[in-house]
């Protein structure tokens, strides 16, 4: 089994952010566009532009992304006075070079679909009982030169459609099982998974994948049809079966090197198959953990490999307004408006 490093992923095209636009469907927060669908379909918004989505208690409408845009929300658990997230309905990515950052897929049927696309980046997003899926109405859907990073999949997973031409890197993501399909399924192309933590999740129908520096923790779910994959420097604990080892489940030809069978010693792991929340779980490693290494990536799991993973999901390419207070809301026309504003860098780790 040769290790696939997926160098092609490093050739992803990045958009030049020509212009930024504000989007809000929250009546209390005015913006240039009233919702995501209107913004994407506006003739004023061009390839390479950035849409800043304000947090809201109302989900954005279902939208097809037909331009190469960067779409940025506030994160899935922002550390600020108003904990409002950018709730998505279903999104379909129909063009290359789209970046989705800091968005939350929460409502029933709020999946992220893709056509045949390349140069996609999905970062700091939260999927709750919603998945990344091929568009069933588009023949041959596939993700190429795609990076999925710093995301949480709760009762959710990623389906790669068994596309031989796909090329995907998944790094520093948390897969937390609580029913549903949680994990990575249907990969027959180039797949690199590194520094991910699987809490009760599983793998299915994966050929020629590479898994490095991952933690597989507390699962009764059997991984099935894992073939000719490499598992390098991964940790396994409290599993019914190590991924890819049960021959009765269609697994064969997998290679394991430098792996660890031990408790990773999470700070607060919870119990198997329990509901996820942002306060009762802490997947940092306790001192003395066997998942702490003396050489790069220095840790296994989501906080290793130069990780910027955070339980806030705050986008790390902009400063964060923590609090904004208008001191004289009845200021006269042409008068002075006094306010206090608290701005910090995004929270990481």
How large is the C-alpha radius of gyration of the chain?
A: 21
What pLDDT shows up at residue 10? 41
Q: What secondary structure letter does DSSP report for 270?
A: -
- Global pTM reads 0.89
pLDDT of residue 219: 78
SS3 153: strand
Beta-carbon contacts of residue 151 (< 8 Å; ≥ 6 apart): 122, 123, 124, 125, 126, 127, 173, 174
Q: What is the pLDDT of residues 192-222, one digit of tens each?
A: 999 999 998 779 999 999 999 999 998 767 7
Residue 1's pLDDT is 46
Domains of the chain: 7-318 (2.160.20.10)
What are the phi and psi torsion angles at 258 (to 5°)?
55, 35
The distance from CA 348 to its chain's CA centroid, rounded to whole angstroms, is 15
Block mean pLDDT (10 aa), the chain, length 349: 45 57 91 97 97 95 98 90 89 98 94 98 96 93 97 94 95 86 89 95 91 90 89 93 86 95 93 79 96 95 93 74 68 80 62
Burial class (CB in 10 A: 0-12, 13-18, 19+), 304: buried
SS3 per residue for 201-226: CEEEEEECEEEECCEEEEECCCCEEE
User: Phi-psi category of 39—alpha, beta or left, where left has phi over 0 and alpha has psi -120 to 50?
Assistant: alpha
Closest CA to 216 of 189, 181, 177: 177
């Amino acid at each position: 089994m040769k290790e696939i490093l997926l160098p092609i992923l490093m050739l992803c095209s990045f958009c030049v952010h020509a212009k930024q636009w504000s989007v809000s469907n929250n009546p209390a927060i005015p913006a240039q566009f009233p919702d995501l669908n209107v913004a994407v379909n506006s003739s004023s918004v061009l390839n390479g532009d950035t849409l800043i989505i304000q947090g809201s208690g109302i989900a954005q409408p279902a939208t097809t992304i037909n331009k190469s845009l960067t779409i940025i929300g506030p994160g899935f658990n922002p550390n600020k006075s108003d904990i409002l997230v950018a709730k998505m309905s279903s999104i379909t990515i129909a063009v290359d070079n789209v970046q989705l950052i800091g968005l939350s897929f929460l409502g029933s049927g709020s999946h992220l679909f893709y056509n045949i696309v390349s140069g996609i980046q999905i970062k700091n997003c939260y999927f709750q009982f919603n998945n990344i899926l091929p568009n069933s109405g588009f023949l041959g859907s596939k993700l190429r030169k795609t990076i999925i990073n710093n995301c949480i999949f709760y009762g959710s997973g990623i389906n790669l459609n068994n596309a031989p031409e796909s090329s995907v890197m998944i790094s520093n993501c948390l897969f937390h099982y609580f029913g549903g399909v949680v994990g990575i399924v249907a990969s027959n192309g180039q797949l690199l998974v590194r520094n991910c933590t699987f809490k009760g999740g599983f793998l299915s129908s994966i050929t020629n994948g590479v898994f490095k520096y991952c933690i597989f923790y507390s699962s009764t779910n059997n991984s099935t049809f894992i073939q000719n994959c490499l598992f390098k420097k991964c940790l396994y604990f409290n599993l019914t079966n190590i991924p890819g080892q049960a021959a009765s489940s269609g697994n064969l030809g997998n290679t394991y090197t430098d792996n660890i069978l031990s408790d990773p010693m999470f700070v607060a792991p919870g119990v198997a198959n329990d509901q996820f929340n942002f306060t009762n779980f802490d997947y940092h490693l306790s001192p003395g953990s066997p998942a702490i290494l003396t050489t790069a990536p220095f840790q296994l799991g989501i906080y290793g490999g130069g990780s910027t993973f955070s339980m806030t999901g705050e986008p790390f390419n902009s400063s964060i307004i923590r609090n904004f207070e208008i001191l004289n809301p009845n200021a006269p026309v042409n008068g002075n408006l006094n306010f206090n504003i608290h701005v910090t860098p995004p929270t990481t780790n």
